[in-house]
Amino acid sequence: MLTKTSPTLADGTKITDLVNTATREVQLRALSDPEIYELEMDRIFGRIWNLLGHESEIPNSGDFMVRDMGSDSVLITRDKDGQVHVALNVCPHRGMRISVVDAGNTQVHTCIYHGWAFRPNGAFLGAPVERETMHGKMMSKEQLGLKKARSTLYGGLIFATWNINGPSFDEFLGDTKWYYDMLFNRTDRGMEVLGPPQRFTVRANWKAAGEQSAADGFHTLMLHRWLGEVGNYSKKIEGEVSTGDLSPEMYGVEISSPHGHAMRCIDLARKIKRLTGLDPEKLSVAEKLAALPPVGMSKEMVSQLANHLSEDQLKVMTTMPPQVGGMFPNVLFGFVYLPQADGTVVGSMTMHAYIPKGPDKLEFVNWIFAEKDTPPELREKMLKQTIQLFGTSGMVEQDDSDTWPHMTKSAKGAMGRKSTMKYQAVYETGKPAGWPGPGIVNEGFTKDDTQWHWWLHWRELMTTEA
C-alpha cells in the first residue's frame, strides 16, 4: 500500500515545497542536498525500473556483468537455460561483493572472502568444508541465495526493479510504449550493442542530466549551436558562413508522460524533400520509407517494419518519428538522422544512463546500437558517427557534461541553493490534427512541458511512502 507523505529535511523544508506546482519552479538545492539524494535511492531507484544494459552483452551461458541500480551493485547473469537474472552483488554471509570485476563468464560465482558459492540464477550452492556446514543450520540453503531483483527484457534491453509487487514494466512505460516500440521492437531479429558501453565520471548530480534527457530542446539552440555552424546541420550556400540557426529543428511534436518519460518527434519533411526533390505530402508511407529508411536501417530491411508496427505507427515513423528523449528517471535515447556532406543521411542509435554515485557525482554510461541485420558498411558508419558526436569523447557530450557540474556547484551556494529552475514555457497547442498516437501530445516549437512532467513524477515518488 502506498501513502502520501512529505518528508521533512533537517532545516524544516518539506520535499513538496521543493517543486512549486503553481509557478512551475524547482528549488536548485534539489541538485546537491545529501538528504534528498539518500531519499532518492530508496523512493526512486528502489522502486522504478532501472536500465542495466542489453542482453547482447551477455550472449552465452555463464556470461555475467556488474552494473548499478541506484546505489546498489547488481550481478546480471545468463544461466544454462538462456535466462537472464539480476541479483544484488552482495554475499548474504558477511556483505562482501560477490563479483569484484566488471564482466566475465562462470557457472559458479564464488565469494573471495569465505568461499560461499552461487549459481548464475542466484541460488546458494554451498560453502567450503561441506561437512562442517559453515553456513550453519538455522537457515536452509534455499534461504541463503542472493537477493533477486524483478527483471524483464524489452527489445533486448535489460530492466530490473526492487519493487517486486509494483507496477509491471508495461505499466511503467504507459502510453509511451506505443512510441518506444517504434525504436526497440521494429525488426525481426532486433538490435545489439556495438561493443561494451563507454563509461566516464562527471562531477554532477544525476538529476542535472536526467531532467535534461526529458526532451529539453531549448539548450540545443545555444549549447550545441556549433552543429548548425560547422556540424552535421550546417547549411552553407555557395561558400557563405552558416548562421548556426538550429530553430528549424525545434519544430515538431513532443510527447509527455505522467510517469516522467518524454520524447521529441522531429519532422522529416525537409530531409525527404532534399533527398527526393518531391513534396512529402504527396508521397505514400512506402515511398517515404524507400527515400529515407528509419535510423539504422537499410532499404532492404524496411519490409520488416510491417511485421511489428501498426499502420498508425508507420505513419508517425515516416513523418515525425521520436528521435531524442528519455525514460524516467535517468535514461536518454537518441535515434537521430545525421545529414552527411554528400547529401546522404546516416543514423545514430544510442542510449545513455546517468548512474548516481553521490550527491555531486554520476557515472555516464553510453551504449551504441545497430540492428542485427544492418549491413557491415552502414554499421561502421553509424559507429563512427555516434562515437564522434554522442560517445564519451563526443562533441555533443562534451557540451552537456560541462554544464551539469556548474549547475551542481551553484546548488551548493548559500544563495544559489535558494534559486529556482523554471519550466514556464508552456504549450498552448495540443496534438496536431489526425495524430494517431497516445500520451500528452503537443505540436510546435519546443517547450518545457516534458521536463516539467519529469519533475512532477519525481515529486510524486519522493512524497509517496510504501
pLDDT 10s digits, 257-273: 999 999 999 999 988 98
Q: Where in the chain is the domain with CATH 2.102.10.10?
A: 50-162
Please check the confidence at residue 1 and state whether its pLDDT lies above 70.
no
Q: CA torsion 362→156→58→119, rounded to 10°? A: 100
What is the rounded CA–CA span in Å between residue 335 and residue 345? Answer: 13
Residue 86, Cβ neighbours under 10 Å: how many? Answer: 27
- pLDDT value for 241: 52
What is the rounded CA–CA span in Å between residue 150 and residue 88? Answer: 11
Give the CATH H-level superfamily of domain 175-465. Answer: Naphthalene 1,2-dioxygenase Alpha Subunit; Chain A, domain 1 (3.90.380.10)
Read out DSSP for 229-258?
HTSTT---STTPPP----GGGGEEEEEE-T
Residues 187-232 have pLDDT tens digits of: 999 999 999 999 999 999 999 999 999 999 998 888 888 777 766 6
- pLDDT value for 133: 86
132 pLDDT tier (thresholds 50, 70, 90):
confident
Written as one letter, the residue type at 40 is E
Inter-residue contact 345 to 275 (CB < 8 Å): yes
What is the rounded CA–CA span in Å between residue 148 and residue 310? Answer: 36
Residues 6+ apart with CB under 8 A from 227: 220, 233, 234, 246, 396
Residues forming beta bridges with residue 465, ordered by sequence position: 3
Written as one letter, the residue type at 436 is P
Residue listed under C-alpha cell 528519455: 326
- pLDDT value for 4: 67
CA gyration radius, the chain = 23
Q: Where in the chain is the domain with CATH 3.90.380.10?
A: 175-465
CATH topology of domain 50-162: Rieske Iron-sulfur Protein (2.102.10)
Task: Tell me how far CA of residue 434 lies from CA of 281, 381, 441, in angstroms.
Answer: 14, 36, 12
Whole-prediction pTM? 0.94
Residue 150, H or E segment: strand 150-154
238 pLDDT tier (thresholds 50, 70, 90):
very low
What is the rounded CA–CA span in Å between residue 227 and residue 51? Answer: 29
Residues 245-258 have pLDDT tens digits of: 778 888 999 999 99
- pLDDT value for 345: 87
Please check the confidence at residue 466 and state whether its pLDDT lies above 80.
no
Residues 6+ apart with CB under 8 A from 292: 268, 271, 272, 275, 318, 337, 345
Count of residues for the chain?
A: 466
Residue listed under C-alpha cell 559507429: 383
Residue 203, Cβ neighbours under 10 Å: how many? Answer: 15
Residues forming beta bridges with residue 319, ordered by sequence position: none
What is the rounded CA–CA span in Å between residue 203 and residue 145? Answer: 36
